[in-house]
């Protein structure tokens, strides 16, 4: 069974890694990594392949950046050619980035079966490009692997037959557990001059937070203020750095507010575990902090990962509430939560088992 695994952007590499390693052990399966090239910088792509023990992609489409239509269109055109040449039996897509949706469309139109890992997540906010990608991908996929019960409920409500849906747990947690020792050994916080549980780890890159000048400068003001209470470590996503430069907002790093280049997977996991709290708009960090029971503030009006709030350590915030919410955390009032069902490191095994059947 020839299986394409679609890699594309930073969060996807963590989701395909456990599947690649699990499928590689199966005699009946030949997994092939297809990198669309949506993310291409060394520290946004290659570093993750290295950290996760993934080989060089078998196929690289070299798509690069662009508007949503340009990016999705380029993936469809390039990937259709690959599909026709290589004729896979199954395409596995993960997550919700533009390449996930575009690869699904190209495969579905050629009648090639698609499995979606991390299916069923919904923020119910169609201003988020990822929500559109999720809806399109799930409506076309033949097999839908969900991370949590809310995923199953969302899909059933949308009329997807139950037989196509299988709750398998959270694939990101497979990667986290498999890499925990390496991440801990890195002691990234110490190399950055930060002490255990005595700093804040920040990641922000969503267009809704970084693309508007007023919002981005307010966020930066809050971060400077926060850094007078606790050191802050903020690796800048290329989109965020670009917007700071475009708007002429200072991104000078100092000992209290460390604005650094994007960091690797092990470094990020180490900081997520060691931080006093995390401020983010990333999907993955909402889940990783839930696993570590590290308090997390998510600067978004909604989340497609509600289990991180109902079960985990996550709380939504907005620009108006950001400072009061930060103050609460500085005063040590926070919840730690519990680890959700099937976030146990065996999700890839459950997926492989189902595919074997
Ligand atoms: C994409 C995903 C988002 C995910 C995020 C993780 C979509 C719609 N968005 O957002 O869901 O959370 O990845 O990082 O698919 N750039 C570089 N180097 C790179 C990649 C990007 O400099 O390797 C810059 C380019 O200027 C580009 C911008 O970052 O225009 C945005 O990249 P893009 O992949 O379009 O969106 P992200 O914001 O990264």
CA dist., res. 220 & res. 241, Å (int)? 12
CA of 238 to the centre of ligand 1 (A): 8
Confidence band for 336, pLDDT divided at 50, 70 and 90:
confident
Q: State the burial class of residue 241 (Cβ atoms within 10 Å of its Cβ: 0-12, 13-18, 19+).
A: middle
**Over the stretch 117-172, which tens digit does the pLDDT of each residue have?**
999 999 999 999 999 999 999 999 999 999 999 999 999 999 999 999 999 999 99
pLDDT for 254 equals 87
Which has the closest alpha carbon to 293: 277, 310, 316? 277
Which residues in the chain are classed under CATH 3.40.50.2000? 2-169+343-356, 179-330
Cα–Cα distance, 13 to 22 (Å, whole number): 14
CA 235 to CA 259: how far, in whole Å?
6
pLDDT at 232: 98
Q: How many CA atoms lie within 13 A of 63 on its CB side?
A: 32
Looking at residue 332, what is its pLDDT?
Answer: 80
Nearest CA to ligand 1 atom 9: 97
So what's the pLDDT on residue 334?
77
Helix (H) or strand (E) holding 136, with range, is helix 129-140
Q: According to the model, what pLDDT value does residue 122 have?
A: 98
Distance 288 CA to ligand 1 centre (A): 20
pLDDT in tens, 6-22: 999 999 999 999 999 99
Task: Kindly report the protein residue whose alpha carbon is nearest to atom 2 of ligand 1.
Answer: 97
| Atom of ligand 1 minimally distant from the CA of 133 | 8
pTM, two decimals, is 0.95
Higher pLDDT, 354 or 334: 354
CA of 106 to the centre of ligand 1 (A): 21
Convert the pLDDT of each residue in 256-279 to its tens digit: 999 999 999 999 999 999 999 999
Does domain 179-330 fall under CATH 3.40.50.2000? My reply is yes
* Least confident residue range of 119-128, 288-297, 329-338, 342-351: 329-338
Cβ neighbours for 255, distance < 8 A, ≥ 6 positions apart: 193, 231
Cβ 104 vs Cβ 136: under 8 Å: yes
Two tokens at 341? 């069902």
Tokens 């890499």, residue? 179
Residue with CA closest to ligand 1 atom 4: 97
- Which of 15, 37, 38, 284 is the pocket-test mutation for ligand 1 (most atoms within 8 Å of CB)? 38
At 335 the pLDDT is 77
**What is the number of the ligand 1 atom nearest to the C-alpha of 95?**
11
Ligand 1 centre distance from Cα of residue 39 (Å): 6
Q: In testing the pocket of ligand 1, which one of 7, 9, 287 has its CB within 8 Å of the most ligand atoms?
A: 9
Strand segments (E) across the chain: 2-7, 30-35, 59-60, 90-94, 113-117, 143-146, 165-167, 200-203, 232-235, 257-260, 277-280, 296-299, 314-317
What is the pLDDT averaged over residues 29-43?
A: 97
Collect all residues with Cβ–Cβ distance below 8 Å to 18 and sequence separation of at least 6. 171, 174, 175, 178, 347, 348
Indicate which residue's Cα is closest to atom 14 of ligand 1: 10
> Which atom of ligand 1 is nearest the CA belonging to 99?
15
Pocket perturbation via mutation, ligand 1, pick of 40, 65, 73, 118 by most ligand atoms within 8 A of CB: 65
How much distance in Å is there from the Cα of 244 to the middle of ligand 1? 15
Closest residue to atom 39 of ligand 1, CA basis: 239
Indicate whether 253 pLDDT > 90: no
Instruction: Return the ligand 1 atom nearest residue 38 CA.
Output: 34
Say what the pLDDT of residue 93 is. Answer: 98
Give the pLDDT of residue 134.
98
Helix (H, G, I), strand (E, B) or coil at 97: coil
- Minimum-distance ligand 1 atom for the alpha carbon of 40: 23
What's the fold here for domain 2-169+343-356? Rossmann fold (3.40.50)
| Atom 37 (ligand 1) nearest CA | 239
CA distances from 280 to 16, 75, 201, 254, 293 (A): 23, 28, 8, 20, 15
User: Residues lining ligand 1, judged by CB closer than 6 Å?
Assistant: 9-11, 38-41, 44, 65, 97-98, 129-130, 205, 237-239, 242
Residue numbers annotated as active site: 205
Are 272 and 288 in contact by the 8 Å Cβ rule? The answer is yes
What percent of the chain has pLDDT above 70? 100
pLDDT in tens, 193-206: 999 999 999 999 99
CA of 117 to the centre of ligand 1 (A): 20
Query: Relative to the CA of 97, which ligand 1 atom is closest?
Result: 15
């Amino acid at each position: 069974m020839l299986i394409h695994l679609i890699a594309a952007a930073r969060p996807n590499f963590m989701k395909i890694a456990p599947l690649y390693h699990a499928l590689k052990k199966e005699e009946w399966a030949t997994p092939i990594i297809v990198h669309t090239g949506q993310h291409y910088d060394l520290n946004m792509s290659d570093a993750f392949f290295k950290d996760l023990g993934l080989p060089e992609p078998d196929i690289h489409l070299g798509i690069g950046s662009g508007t949503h239509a340009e990016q999705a269109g380029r993936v469809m055109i390039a990937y259709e050619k690959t599909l026709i040449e290589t004729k896979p039996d199954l395409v596995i897509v993960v997550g919700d980035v533009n390449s996930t949706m575009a690869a699904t469309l190209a495969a579905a139109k050629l009648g090639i079966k698609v499995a979606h890992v991390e299916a069923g997540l919904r923020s119910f906010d169609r201003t988020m490009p990822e929500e559109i990608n999720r809806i399109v991908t799930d409506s076309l996929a033949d097999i839908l692997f969900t991370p949590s019960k809310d995923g199953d409920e969302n899909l059933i409500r949308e009329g997807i037959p139950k037989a196509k849906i299988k709750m398998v747990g959270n694939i990101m947690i497979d990667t986290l557990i498999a890499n925990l020792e390496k991440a801990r050994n890195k002691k990234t916080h110490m190399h950055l001059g930060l002490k255990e549980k005595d700093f804040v780890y920040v990641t922000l890159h969503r267009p809704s937070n970084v693309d508007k000048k007023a919002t981005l400068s307010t966020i930066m003001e809050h971060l400077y203020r926060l850094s007078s209470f606790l050191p802050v470590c903020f690796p800048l996503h290329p989109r965020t750095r670009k917007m700071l430069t475009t708007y002429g907002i200072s991104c000078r790093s100092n000992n209290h507010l460390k604005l650094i280049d994007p960091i690797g997977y092990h470094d990020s996991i180490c900081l997520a575990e060691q931080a006093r709290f995390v401020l983010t708009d990333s999907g993955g960090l909402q889940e990783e902090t839930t696993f570590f029971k590290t308090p997390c503030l998510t600067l978004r009006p909604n989340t497609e990962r509600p289990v991180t709030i109902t079960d985990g350590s996550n709380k939504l915030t907005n620009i108006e509430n950001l400072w009061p919410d930060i103050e609460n955390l500085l005063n040590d009032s926070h919840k730690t939560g519990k680890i959700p069902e099937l976030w146990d490191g065996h999700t890839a095994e459950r997926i492989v088992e189902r595919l074997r059947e």
